[in-house]
C-alpha cells in the first residue's frame, strides 16, 4: 500500500513538472526573450568632491548618460523606462587628468527579469580640468539714466574685487567682473547689493565658475545739475599805454553738478586770476577753473579759453598853424603866436589817421579893439576816437594896434 502511494506521488510530481515545462514552452513562444538598446540612460556621479583634493574639477554642464543593451521578455522590454535603471560612476580611485577620461559605470540596482549585457564593461567619458582660482576687479554696469536735471558720479564698489574658482579653461576666459545697478529715474544717492557676473573680452557672460562673494555693495552719488556762467578774474595792472577792453571765456558757461544745498547757492564759476601785467597784445590764454567744494564739472572741464582783447594807446605831437580871423580893417596884430603845439592820445591805429592838415586852430578877433587881449584858441577837426592831452598855449595874449599911415601903405 505504501508503495502504491509513493508511486502516485511521483506520478503527480512528474505531471506538475511536465505541465510547468509545457507552460514555459507555450509562454516562451508567446513572449520570447529579446535584446534591445535603451538610449541615454542617466548616470549618477559619485564622490565628485574628491576631485578638489587632487586640484581637479568637472567641467560643468556635462550630460552623463550611456546606452544600455539589455535582455528581457518582449513584454517587459516594451514597458521599460530608462529612469528605472540606477547607474553610477564613482570618481574616487581613478587617476584622472585634465581633459577627457573614461570611467566605469556600474548597475547599482538590477531590474527583475532584465539583464544588462556586458554590465562589467560599461564605460563613460568625463571631462575634467585643473581646479584654479584668481582675483578679478569688479566694475559697475550702469543700467538706465538718472532723473532729468541730475547726474551720477562714479560708483564706489565694496569689495572692489572677488575671488573666482573653477576649471582653468573657463578661468582663462574671464577678464573682469561686473555688478549691474539700475539707476533709472534716480534723484537720490544709490546704495544697493548687486550680483556679480563674469565677462570675457567681448563682454559675454562666463558661467560655470564659483564667485566669492556673489554680491557686492554699489554706492553711487546722484547730484543735481546746473548751468553756471564763467567769471574771469584778473590780477595786476595793465602795461602803460595798454587798456584791457574785454575778457571773454569760451565756453561762456559750463554744466556742473553737486549737492543741492551747495549748488543752489552758486551763481557762477570763477577762474584762477589771470595776470595782465605782461599783456601787450590781444591774446587767448588757458585759465584754470576754481570749483567750489562738493561741486564738479559734468563734462570734466578743468580749464577754459579766455580771449583777452586790448587796445594800445600812445601819444602824438602836432604843430598846428594858428589862424587869426575877423581882425578889424584899421587894426593890426602884433606879438601873435604862430603855431599851436598839440599832444593827442589814442589807439595807434586811430592816431595814424590824423595829420596836421586835418586839424585847424583859430582865434576869433571880432569886436576886439586896440590893446592887449587874452583870447581863447578854438581847435577843430579832432575826431572823438582820440583825446587831447595838452595844447600849448591854451590861451594867447595878443596886442592889437591901430594901423599907421606907414603901416597902411605897407599893407596896400
Q: What is the predicted pLDDT for the residue at 206?
A: 95
Span 353-376, pLDDT tens digits: 888 888 999 988 888 888 888 888
Burial of 204: CB neighbours in 10 Å, binned 0-12, 13-18, 19+ = exposed
Between 317 and 409, residue with greater pLDDT: 317
Is there a shared CATH topology between the 225-312 domain and the 313-411 domain? yes
Please, where are the H alpha helices in 55-189?
Answer: 74-78, 168-171
Span 182-223, pLDDT tens digits: 999 998 899 999 999 999 999 999 999 999 999 999 999 888
For residue 352, pLDDT over 90 is answered with no
Between 111 and 130, residue with greater pLDDT: 130
Span 280-311, pLDDT tens digits: 889 999 999 999 988 888 888 999 999 999 88
Span 158-176, pLDDT tens digits: 999 999 999 999 999 999 9
For residue 410, pLDDT over 60 is answered with no
Kindly state the average pLDDT of the residues 73-84.
Answer: 83
DSSP letter string over 250-297? ESSEEEEEE-HHHHTT--EEEEPPEE-TT--S-EEEEEEEEPPTTEEE
Query: Which sign, positive or negative, has the C-alpha torsion 334, 339, 340, 341?
Result: negative
DSSP state of 385: T
Q: What is the predicted pLDDT for the residue at 412?
A: 40
As its CATH architecture, domain 131-224 has Beta Complex (2.170)
For residue 138, pLDDT over 70 is answered with yes
- For all residues of the chain together, what is the average pLDDT? 88
- What dotted CATH number matches 33-130? 2.170.120.30
Kindly state the average pLDDT of the residues 67-85.
Answer: 85
Q: Where are the chain's structural domains?
A: 1-30, 33-130, 131-224, 225-312, 313-411
For residue 377, pLDDT over 50 is answered with yes
User: In terms of CATH, what superfamily is 225-312?
Assistant: YbbR-like domain (2.170.120.40)
Confidence band of 26 (pLDDT split at 50, 70, 90)? very low
pTM score over 0.75: no
Q: Which three cell numbers stand for residue 121?
A: 564593461
Kindly state the average pLDDT of the residues 232-240.
Answer: 91
Percent helix, strand and coil across the chain, each rounded to 5? 15, 50, 30
- Fold of domain 313-411: RNA Polymerase Alpha Subunit; Chain A, domain 2 (2.170.120)
Q: What is the predicted pLDDT for the residue at 9?
A: 72
Amino acid at each position: 500500500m505504501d508503495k502504491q502511494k509513493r508511486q502516485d506521488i511521483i506520478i503527480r510530481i512528474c505531471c506538475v513538472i511536465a505541465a510547468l515545462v509545457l507552460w514555459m514552452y507555450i509562454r516562451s513562444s508567446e513572449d520570447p526573450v529579446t535584446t534591445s538598446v535603451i538610449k541615454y540612460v542617466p548616470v549618477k556621479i559619485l564622490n565628485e568632491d574628491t576631485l578638489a583634493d587632487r586640484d581637479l574639477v568637472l567641467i560643468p554642464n556635462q550630460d552623463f548618460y550611456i546606452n544600455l543593451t539589455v535582455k528581457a521578455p518582449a513584454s517587459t522590454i516594451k514597458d521599460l523606462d530608462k529612469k528605472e535603471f540606477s547607474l553610477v560612476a564613482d570618481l574616487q580611485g581613478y587617476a584622472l587628468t585634465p581633459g577627457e577620461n573614461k570611467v566605469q559605470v556600474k548597475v547599482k540596482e538590477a531590474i527583475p527579469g532584465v539583464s544588462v549585457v556586458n554590465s562589467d564593461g560599461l564605460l563613460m567619458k568625463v571631462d575634467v580640468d585643473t581646479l584654479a582660482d584668481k582675483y578679478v576687479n569688479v566694475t559697475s554696469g550702469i543700467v538706465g539714466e538718472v532723473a532729468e536735471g541730475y547726474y551720477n558720479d562714479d560708483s564706489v564698489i565694496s569689495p572692489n574685487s572677488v575671488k573666482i574658482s573653477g576649471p582653468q579653461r573657463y578661468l582663462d576666459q574671464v577678464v573682469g567682473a561686473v555688478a549691474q545697478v539700475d539707476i533709472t529715474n534716480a534723484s537720490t544717492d544709490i546704495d544697493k547689493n548687486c550680483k556679480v557676473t563674469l565677462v570675457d573680452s567681448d563682454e559675454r557672460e562666463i558661467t560655470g565658475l564659483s564667485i566669492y562673494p556673489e554680491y557686492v555693495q554699489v554706492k553711487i552719488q546722484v547730484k543735481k545739475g546746473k548751468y553756471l556762467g564763467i567769471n574771469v578774474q584778473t590780477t595786476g595792472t595793465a602795461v602803460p599805454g595798454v587798456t584791457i577792453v574785454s575778457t571773454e571765456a569760451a565756453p561762456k558757461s559750463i554744466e556742473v553738478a553737486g549737492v543741492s544745498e551747495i549748488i543752489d547757492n552758486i551763481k557762477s564759476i570763477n577762474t584762477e586770476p589771470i595776470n595782465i601785467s605782461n599783456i601787450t597784445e590781444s591774446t587767448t590764454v588757458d585759465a584754470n577753473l576754481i570749483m567750489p567744494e562738493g561741486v564738479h564739472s559734468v563734462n570734466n572741464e578743468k580749464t577754459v579759453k579766455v580771449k583777452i582783447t586790448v587796445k594800445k594807446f600812445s601819444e602824438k605831437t602836432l604843430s598846428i598853424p594858428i589862424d587869426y580871423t575877423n581882425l578889424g580893417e584899421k587894426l593890426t596884430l602884433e606879438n601873435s603866436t604862430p603855431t599851436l603845439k598839440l599832444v593827442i592820445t589814442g589807439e595807434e591805429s586811430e592816431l595814424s589817421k590824423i595829420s596836421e592838415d586835418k586839424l585847424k586852430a583859430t582865434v576869433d578877433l571880432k569886436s576886439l579893439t586896440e590893446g592887449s587881449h587874452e583870447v581863447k584858441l578854438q581847435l577843430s577837426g579832432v575826431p572823438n576816437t582820440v583825446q587831447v592831452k595838452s595844447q600849448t598855449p591854451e590861451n594867447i595874449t595878443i596886442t592889437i594896434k591901430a594901423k599907421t599911415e606907414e603901416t597902411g601903405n605897407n599893407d596896400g
